[in-house]
Each structure stands twice: as structure tokens, then as C-alpha cells.
Amino acid sequence: MKILVLLKQTFDTEAKITIEGGKISRSGVSMIINPYDEFAVEEALKIKESLGGEVTVVSTGDDGVQDALRQALAMGADKAVLINPGTDDVDEFTAATVLAKAVSGMEYDLILAGWRAVDDGSAQVAGRVAEILGIPIAKLASKIDVEAGKATATCEIEGGTEVIELPLPAIITAQKGLNEPRYPSMKGIMQAKKKPMEKKGLGDIGLDAGAVAAKVKVLSVALPAARAAGKVFDGEPADTSAAVVKALREEAKVI
């Protein structure tokens, strides 16, 4: 079973986000594997452990992304592939085009990814890759079973779950709860630096800057407004309860 995992490096979820010069500042922020992609890596390793095979992690970005890939190698992935798009001006179209093109030149039975990245949260890339490759996709899986030629994914839908069977090759995206990602072991860490890390440019996979130019332009970035202070109702419980209900209905309009 050859499994590919599409992986994105994101800000640490505990990082404090600041904006400098109209862009989100990367200085002093520690970077991690997108947590949903980490579920995908873990699931790939579990499938490999039960069925045998090989796990390759694939990402697009600059050299800094190697840290995230190395982390996945330390967890137990066998190989890493990194395609540098040669620009910071990247949208979902760019990422999906680059990843799909890179993946199309590789052997695979199953592609796993997180259902979204925690940074921009657009949840588009895996779907776009499936479309370009012309293979089925199941999203938001909380359980995945793989057997010869097919996969069954239990996926989250509004108010319930849906069980989807897909012929392989296919893409499945991971939701929280799919598994508990392992820590990289000491042995894994020591082996990681000996595992292959293939670095490619656009030209190496048959693309050029024009073919991947972003279609979406970010006009501005803003931080969410600071949360306003809560409102305290003073007085006798009977009076304050009435006041709270009134405020919830008329001011907050939630009931």
C-alpha cells in the first residue's frame, strides 16, 4: 500500500498572531505540522503498520517547511517531497496545482490530508487535488478502514455521520478524533535525518510560474476585534433573571 500524505506547515496554534505591513508576521512564531495533517500522518502510519507499504509526505513551500516534513519522518514516514513554488504569493489554486502535479508523477493507492489547515481554514486544497487527479474524495473522516482496492470512511456531516465507500486510489481528509498522533520517538528522530528528502522546483515537475500564479488576491488582513467586556446584572435574582432574559432576546437576539 503506497500512501501519500499532503501536509502543510502552519503557525503553532498557541502562537500570538500579529500583523506587520498588511501581512501576518512570521517572525518569532514557531511552526508546526497543521494539526489535521498530523492526524493524516498518524493514520497513514497506522495503515502502513497493519497492511505494510510506504508513507510519503508531500508539501509545498520554502525550505523552512523541511522542519515539518522532518517531523513527519521522525514519526515514521519513509520519504518526504517538498516542492518550492518560488513565490510567497500562493493561494489554494497554486497549492493544489503544484501538489496534484507532483503527486501525478508518483505511485499511490491512497492520499490522506487534513480536512483543512488551521491557518487560512479554506478546506479547499484536498478537494481541488482530487478534482485535478480525477479520483474520489471523502472528507472529514473520523474513521478509515482500508482493504484491497477500496476504503471505507466514516465522515462527519451536519448532525450525524455518513459511511462512504471509495474505490482506490482515493483521497480521504482527516477530522479531529480520527486518532491520537504519536510523538516522534528518539529512534525515529535519529533516523529522520537519514531518510530521503526530495526538494524540487516548479521546473522539475513540469510547471512554471505562470501555470501556478494565484487566482485570488488578498486585499487586507485584520485581527478579530478584542472581545468586549461582559455585562453584569446587579440586584435581586428575580429582577436580574428577567433583565438577563430581556437582554438575551432584545440586545443579543439569541433567544
Partner 1 sequence: MDFSLPEEFVMLKKMVRKFTENEIMPLEMTVIEREAARGFEATPSMPPEEEKKILAKAKDLGLWGIDVPEEHGGQGLGMLAKMLVEEEMNRSICWIFLPPDSPNLDFLANACRPEQYEEYLFPYSRGEKTSALALTEANAGSDAAGIQLRADRKGDKWVLNGTKLWISFGPKADFFIVIAVTDKVKKQRGGFTAFLVDKGTPGFTILRNIPCIGDMLVYELLLEDVVLDDSKVLGEVGQAFVPLQNRLGVRRIEIGAKCCGAATRCMELMLTQARVRETFGSPIGNRQFIQGMIADSTTEIHACRLMVYHAASKYDSGEKDLRIEGAMTKVYGTEMLQRISDKAIQMHGALGLSKEMVLEYIFRMCRIWRIVEGPSEIHRWLIARQIIRSEKPYETIFGML
Question: Which residues would be at the binding site for partner 1 (CB under 8 A)?
Answer: 70-71, 74, 183-187, 189-190, 192-193
Residue 38 C-beta: closest distance to partner 1, Å:
11
In whole angstroms, give the CA distance from residue 81 to residue 22. Answer: 31
Distances (CA, A) of 181 to 41, 74, 87: 8, 12, 31
- CB nearer to partner 1: pick between 193 and 246: 193
Alpha carbon distance 255, 245 (integer Å): 8
Shortest reach from residue 193's CB to partner 1, in Å: 6
Q: Is the CB of 35 or the CB of 86 nearer to partner 1?
A: 35
The residue among 107, 99, 104, 110 whose CA lies nearest residue 137 is 110
> Residue 59 belongs to what H/E stretch?
strand 54-60
Q: To the nearest whole angstrom, how small is the minimum distance from the Cβ of residue 64 to partner 1?
A: 13
Distance CA 59, CA 5 (A): 8
Separation of alpha carbons 180 and 227, rounded Å: 32
Q: Which is nearer to partner 1, 68 or 103 (CB)?
A: 68
CA distance 194 to 211: 34
Which is nearest to 106 in space by CA: 129, 72, 73? 129
Residue at 35: amino acid letter: P
Q: Which residue, 2 or 182, has its beta carbon nearer to partner 1?
A: 182
30 or 220: whose CB is closer to partner 1? 30
Contact 60, 140 (CB under 8 A): no
Question: Which is nearer to partner 1, 187 or 249 (by Cβ)?
Answer: 187
Q: Is the dihedral of CA 171, 152, 123, 62 positive or negative?
A: negative
Name the minimum Å distance from CB 68 to partner 1: 11
* Shortest distance (Å) from residue 28 CB to partner 1: 14
Shortest approach of partner 1 to residue 27 CB, angstroms? 18
Burial grade of 226 (CB within 10 A; 0-12, 13-18, 19 or more): exposed
Shortest spacing between CB 233 and partner 1, in angstroms? 23
Beta carbon nearer to partner 1, 118 or 123: 118
